[in-house]
Chain A
Amino acid sequence: MLYLSRHKKLSARSAKKICAVTLLLTVTPLAAAQASGSLHEAQTLSFGQIALPDGTAGQTVTVATNGTVTSSGITLLQPRGRYGVYEIEGYTTHPAIYLTIADDTMSPLVMGTPFDVVQFNTLPSCPDLAHTCTTDINGNLEIRIGATLQTRGLPYNPGPYRGTYTLMVNW
């Protein structure tokens, strides 16, 4: 609206045009939903302890959000994997949210071949604007994280592998 202050001498016709444009802008729904609260990781996503019989690519371990752990070409040992848990708290405006997580990797503590971590999924499932979730009456929501670990077909040394991923909460 700064341009209006610089051009105060307007004809009646110009003034009407400007007012009409202004009204149109006001009606257009562009207001952003304001939301605030906290988001923290309550439990890490773990694929447990595994044994790799060979170095074939594409072998997988899948941790589902219902707690089941399955594998293809990989032997599952104890302890078994478990889904990750995030707690959303205090979003008392109850925005409609959706969750996105990009594929990531897990690397050994020392140099070596990383695993790929793909197909992240959540419970509740709210992956886009067409499928959103809402918090409860207290503005809270518990999110489970499942995913699939995948080999690259290269030798994997025994030991621990660690990785991080980014959970994005959109509204």
Chain B
Amino acid sequence: MRAKRTHAKFILPVLATALLGGQALAQPVRTDFGFCNGGATDCTTALGHDSVSVASTLTINEMRAVSFGNVSVTCGMNCDGSAALALGLDGSRNASTTGGDSFILLSGVGGAGAQSPGHYTVEGQNEGGATQVYVSFADNGFNPVDISGDNYHPGASATLMGPGGQTFTMDKFVINESGNDIYGHYIDNRGGGSTPAPGTSNPFNHARAHDSSAVDVVVGATLHTVSGVASYPPGKYTGTFQIMVSY
């Protein structure tokens, strides 16, 4: 009899749990990450980051445009979009190809050809304790274009147009960044005085007074031929892109 009573005490609570199996699934499940939601049997979590920048007196001015210099372009029957010309922050150029197109650097291989990286100055008032300025790029439709090795927007580019309406594309922007984090690529402010901007050299390594939030942005990029273009007539090819700065 005692054995039966003992077993009855154990059995009933267990049986109750089994019959209520559906409701047991709806109870919060505790894991190392806290309680899973809404009936889950397990879960995992990750920390996400969000941000916003409230506008201030941050301004940006173009001191010199991005210029790829003097080149000639050779293609087969038609261009196949395979040639690339990378412009570095120090003004150096590197031509490459994966097909029938090619850039020929004039005025000597890698030498002077009127090329120049872009130069922009950013000034602000260090609002909100900001010590860094984040830089990003977009085409004229404000569609983001990748910077410095990112691959979030493959295929996005700015456009240059010249004689006969022929075009080049421009992407893979690079800047004299101080670093990058989850919020993007940034440049530290100068910290006052006339400290040369990081990564700059002549003609940008100049001494001039700035407030503590002044930043020099040096910009390089990569130029591409476009598939389907019959040929590139001699002349000047120009275009515009958006450079955006924020805290």
Contact = CB atoms under 8 A, between A and B. Distances in A.
A169 B43 contact: yes
Contact of B45 (A40, A77, A108, A166): A166
A101 B48 CA distance: 10
A170 B36 contact: yes
Q: Secondary structure of the A side of the interface?
A: strand
Contacts of A61: 52
Contacts of B38: 98, 100, 128-129, 170
B159 interface: no
Contact of B54 (A52, A78, A84): A52
Interface string A45-56: 111111110000
A80 interface: yes
Interface residues of B, number: 51
Interface stretch (B75-83, B113-121, B136-144, B219-227): B136-144
B44 A39 contact: yes
A44 B49 contact: yes
A45 B38 CA distance: 25
Contacts of B242: 78
Given A30-B21, A78-B142, A106 B50 contact: yes
Interface of A: 3, 7, 9-11, 14, 17-18, 21, 24-25, 28-30, 32-35, 39-52, 61, 75, 77-82, 84, 86, 98, 100-101, 104, 106, 108-110, 112, 115, 117, 128-129, 145, 147, 149, 156-171
The 4 closest A-B CB pairs, nearest first, are: A159-B128, A158-B56, A170-B40, A158-B127
Given A47-B51, A51-B54, 20 more contacts: A3-B6, A7-B6, A14-B3, A30-B25, A34-B42, A39-B44, A41-B49, A44-B51, A45-B48, A78-B142, A81-B52, A115-B52, A117-B50, A149-B52, A158-B55, A158-B56, A159-B53, A161-B54, A169-B44, A171-B43
16 contacts: A30-B25, A41-B47, A44-B182, A45-B50, A46-B52, A47-B52, A48-B52, A78-B242, A79-B244, A109-B130, A149-B52, A156-B54, A161-B51, A161-B52, A166-B46, A170-B42
Interface of B: 3-4, 6-7, 10-11, 14-15, 18, 21, 24-25, 33, 36-57, 125, 127-130, 136, 138, 142, 144, 152, 182-183, 242, 244, 246-247
